[in-house]
Structure 1
Amino acid sequence: MSAISEENVRGGSVFKDIGADDEDSQPTEIESLCMNCYQNGTTRLLLTRIPFFKEIIVSSFSCGSCGSSNTEIQSAGRIQDQGVCYALKVKTKQHLNREVVKADSATTRIPELDFEIPPFTQKGSLSTIEGLLDRAVAGLEQDQPARRAADPEVAEKIEQFIQKLKKLKDVETEFTVVIEDPSGNSFVENPLAPQKDEALTVSRFKRTVQQDMQLGLRADDDLDEEPSSDLEAMRNEVLVFNTNCPECNAPASTNMKLCQIPHFKEVVIMATNCDSCGHRTNEVKSGGATEELGTKITLHITDPSDMTRDVLKSETCSVAIPELEFELGMAAVGGKFTTLEGLLKDIKDLIVSKNPFICGDSGPTDRVQKLNEFGEKIDKVIAGEINAHVILDDPAGNSYLQNVYAPEPDPEMTVEKYTRSFEQNEELGLNDMKTEGYQEGN
């Protein structure tokens, strides 16, 4: 059995990046019991890192005695701050080929068939939409012989449903696949990136107390809300607490400070520095409540100096650049307090450098070229060579773009306030703020 060295564990290099040139990466082999024949088989574990899905553990079991085998995938990274829900309208057979990362905490639904796979009933998997359908069919067919012997009528109804699931792969009619994951660690491919995918809807949501309990983030008997913080103490000092590095998982520290942004509001800035791998990250959350109105900020970039403007992008804010036909949904790059140049570089890294399903040796040539061209256009926007607009749309009203002419109006920037839709209130977890009159009127 190959071993994981102490140096690797402490140095933060346990999780290896996937790459065609890495010939030294070998799985760890462990002798383990086969649950089919109860003889000893072999489990192979590979600790690796996939962008969008953080660190993962890929395991494969095989038994030499009975030939039984299975594979599964588990997230080894941290649980995200918000849950995520992907809704894909499957209209063509090409949609069945989309890559899907499904965590074991995710719920899979097909509303048209009133079909649901509850969370924690399947192991995590890296598959496709077609693979999810095949796995569901295989799970239903597994106990059919016993059902036919015990209750033929029930077995016949399940067989009819199995045929409906199989029929979906012909895509004769449109259907929807919904993957809802409170851990935020599931993912559905957008083959049109960096453009918006009209067939795919991505939304973020705040976990319920019950979901926190399922994920082990809260004790089963802990039904109380988290205690309130001493705001005065936070204003006067930097709070430090221990955490793990999001890149190498080594012990690190996070600094938290409550700051006042001029002409805006208070925000909480959290910065994590890792001494092991040098990784640095910062995250910003609004220090106040959700505003009564949403905010849409549009900046016309007319000069390279615009890149130095301060930007507060909350985790509920989406970013659009109409000239590049680009739109980035809320929470894709998290909450940030940076400059406009920093935000655009983060977008480029997310879409081009860290896209696991398009870049790399296995990525289709046309897609790789398309992503590279998008990266070049982002660079030209930063350099002021492309006349472009940047739109920050935050239904929570907690995002900000610096007005360099303050307190006078900025001739190149417009700020619009708007009333949130019923769906936006749902995404922000404001169900308790919706009255019957609002629901009926909207």
Structure 2
Amino acid sequence: MGTGEQKPFFRDINADEYDPEVTEMESLCFSCEKQGTTRLFLTKIPFFREVIVSSFSCDHCGNSNAELQSAGRIQDKGVRYSVNILNSKDLNRQVVQAPSATISIPELEFENPANKGGLTTVEGVIGRAIEGLSQDQVLRRIQHPEVAEKIDEFIKKLEQLKTCETPFHIIIDDPSGNSFIENPHAPSSDPQMKVTHYKRTREQNDTLCIGTEEEEEEKEQMDPKFNAHDEVLVFPSNCPGCNSPCQVNMKLLAIPHFKEVVIMASSCDACGLRDSEVKSGGGIEPMGRKIRLKLTDVSDLSRDVLKSETCCINIPELEFSTSMSGSAGKFSTLEGLLGDLITQLKTTNPFYTGDSGQEDKLSRMTDFCDILEKVKNGEMLDVHFELDDPTGNSYLQNLYAPDDDPNMTIELYERTFEQNEDLGINDMKTENYEQS
């Protein structure tokens, strides 16, 4: 520590080089009400995210417990997974459950409130629900036999789900956006799973102890001298790589012949990570926009691309498609965007890398990334690259401007009801809103 070198808060475990830094503190034992010891260990699970491992032990009564909590940053949007469970293989889908996530099974009208986080499977989720309901059943049978009988009947229904005699849905709703359910068909879409990213309500933000965008806008409007175009805003945040404190710079910029965008950039002194993000500064366009480009030359890979957070990317020849995932917006080149896709497929899916990745699935993912790498390097052309943005806020450079591009088409379309629902437009009332 004498060198003054700043180290990340959350570091990978390395048996040869890393000396674990464990924080110890005295804390009250709830069993004997004497002082015990709590130990905290900050680390990173490979291919997952930062976690805090805590353990408590009491030398007076022998009471002890351990817990694992997620320390990753809260995502920009909440996430909702709905999976149709059809057979025993679906029960083995792995599940990352954040502490803020609720789990429900509509067929049984069952909902499990937010609880401790963990890494489990769909069958494990059902087992944890059964275990929770079974607690204190002995006492209930004595004090409230009718209630205990109904709970026993419900537990039998949960047990029957493990046989998959009848299909059922399992829904995970996580306002923090940090939960995940395995897609065994990746990188293709899963026909049994629907993923919806949504904007959190004020109540959900309060529960997660974060502010809302409306509150920030109100603060800006209170200062009559504030001009977003002339200012670079700086605010504290945490590094998405190591979670150490860092600063984020934000600037509003007008792109000629397009619209305003918000550029956010951060640099971490602890781990050296540099991150940037682009968000649309305007509203949602009246119609969605689909941009389709046929790659015919290596120069096409140098085209500028603005991908909003609501944009889907499709490559029909590879049967590759991303959903309206709510991922960060990017202003890059086509080559850079393909590189980000490859990195995301290789490093951010915890079930296709590391110890949890099965050999055949890992091989399939590796082969697909190799094909994308050939497209990125210009070795594989004559494929189509599509940007499908329901908000109309994405952009692909026209190299022939102001003339039309012979290899690029732009299609404007009416959004579907489901797309408007995902964007929250269906609940908006823009006329006569003062009336109830």
TM-score (norm 2): 0.88
Letter in 2 for 1:273: S
- The 3-state SS of whatever aligns with 1:11 is coil
CA contact (8 A) 2:53 2:67 kept: yes
Residue 272 to residue 422, structure 1, CA distance change in 2 (3 Å): same
Letter in 1 for 2:319: E
Match of 2:218? 227
Letter in 1 for 2:266: T
Q: 1:332 Cα shift?
A: 5.7
Distance in 2 (alpha carbons) for counterparts of 1:169 and 1:412 = 52
Match of 1:291? 285
CA contact (8 A) 1:300 1:390 kept: yes
Distance in 2 (alpha carbons) for counterparts of 1:203 and 1:250 = 30
Letter in 1 for 2:236: N
* Cα deviation code 1:149-204 (max 9, x no counterpart): 11111111111111111111111111111111111111112222212122221111
- The 3-state SS of whatever aligns with 1:73 is strand
Does structure 1 residue 160 correspond to structure 2 residue 125?
no
Match of 1:427? 422
Letter in 2 for 1:340: L
Match of 2:202? 209
Residue 149 to residue 355, structure 1, CA distance change in 2 (3 Å): same
* Cα deviation code 1:11-68 (max 9, x no counterpart): 242312367x768465837475554566777655442224775322233556788886
Equivalent in 64, 72, 78 of residue 77 of structure 1: 72
Distance in 2 (alpha carbons) for counterparts of 1:418 and 1:357 = 36
Q: 1:335 Cα shift?
A: 0.9
CA contact (8 A) 1:53 1:101 kept: no
Distance in 2 (alpha carbons) for counterparts of 1:390 and 1:40 = 62
Residue 102 to residue 344, structure 1, CA distance change in 2 (3 Å): same
Distance in 1 (alpha carbons) for counterparts of 2:241 and 2:168 = 37
Distance in 2 (alpha carbons) for counterparts of 1:85 and 1:360 = 25
Distance in 2 (alpha carbons) for counterparts of 1:174 and 1:413 = 44
Match of 1:344? 338
Distance in 2 (alpha carbons) for counterparts of 1:425 and 1:55 = 34
CA contact (8 A) 1:105 1:183 kept: yes
* Cα deviation code 1:208-244 (max 9, x no counterpart): 111111111149xx99684174698222333222322
| Higher deviation after alignment, 226-235 or 90-99 | 226-235
Distance in 1 (alpha carbons) for counterparts of 2:63 and 2:330 = 48
Residue 99 to residue 32, structure 1, CA distance change in 2 (3 Å): farther
| Higher deviation after alignment, 153-162 or 42-51 | 42-51
Letter in 2 for 1:116: E
Distance in 2 (alpha carbons) for counterparts of 1:106 and 1:316 = 23
Which stretches in structure 1 are left out of the alignment for 5+ residues?
436-442
Match of 1:319? 313
Distance in 1 (alpha carbons) for counterparts of 2:327 and 2:415 = 22
Q: 1:385 Cα shift?
A: 2.6
Match of 1:132? 125
Which stretches in structure 2 are left out of the alignment for 5+ residues?
431-436
Distance in 1 (alpha carbons) for counterparts of 2:21 and 2:390 = 46
- The 3-state SS of whatever aligns with 1:194 is coil
Does structure 1 residue 267 correspond to structure 2 residue 261?
yes
Equivalent in 390, 398, 404 of residue 403 of structure 1: 398
Distance in 2 (alpha carbons) for counterparts of 1:298 and 1:233 = 37
Residue 14 to residue 280, structure 1, CA distance change in 2 (3 Å): same
- The 3-state SS of whatever aligns with 2:427 is helix
CA contact (8 A) 2:47 2:353 kept: no
Residue 7 to residue 245, structure 1, CA distance change in 2 (3 Å): farther
Match of 2:140? 147
Residue 225 to residue 355, structure 1, CA distance change in 2 (3 Å): closer
Equivalent in 238, 242, 247 of residue 248 of structure 1: 242
- The 3-state SS of whatever aligns with 1:398 is coil
Distance in 2 (alpha carbons) for counterparts of 1:239 and 1:326 = 38
Match of 1:170? 163
CA contact (8 A) 1:72 1:125 kept: no
Does structure 1 residue 185 correspond to structure 2 residue 178?
yes
| Higher deviation after alignment, 416-425 or 81-90 | 416-425
Q: Identity over the aligned pairs, expressed in percent?
A: 55
- The 3-state SS of whatever aligns with 1:291 is coil
* Cα deviation code 1:82-114 (max 9, x no counterpart): 111111111121111222111111111111111
Match of 1:439? none
Letter in 1 for 2:70: S
- The 3-state SS of whatever aligns with 1:227 is helix
Q: How does 1:16-55 map to 2 (within 5 A)?
A: 16-17=11-12, 24=18, 26=20, 28=22, 30=24, 35=30, 45-50=40-45, 54-55=49-50
| Higher deviation after alignment, 246-255 or 40-49 | 40-49
Distance in 1 (alpha carbons) for counterparts of 2:409 and 2:116 = 48
* Cα deviation code 1:324-352 (max 9, x no counterpart): 22222223641111111111111101111
Match of 2:101? 106
Computed over aligned residues only, the root mean square deviation of the Cα atoms, in angstroms, reads 3.0
* Count of residue correspondences: 426
- The 3-state SS of whatever aligns with 2:354 is coil
Distance in 1 (alpha carbons) for counterparts of 2:246 and 2:216 = 27
- The 3-state SS of whatever aligns with 1:348 is helix
Does structure 1 residue 89 correspond to structure 2 residue 89?
no
Distance in 2 (alpha carbons) for counterparts of 1:64 and 1:191 = 46
| Higher deviation after alignment, 261-270 or 160-169 | 261-270
* Cα deviation code 1:276-316 (max 9, x no counterpart): 22211111111111111111111111111111111111111
Letter in 2 for 1:359: T
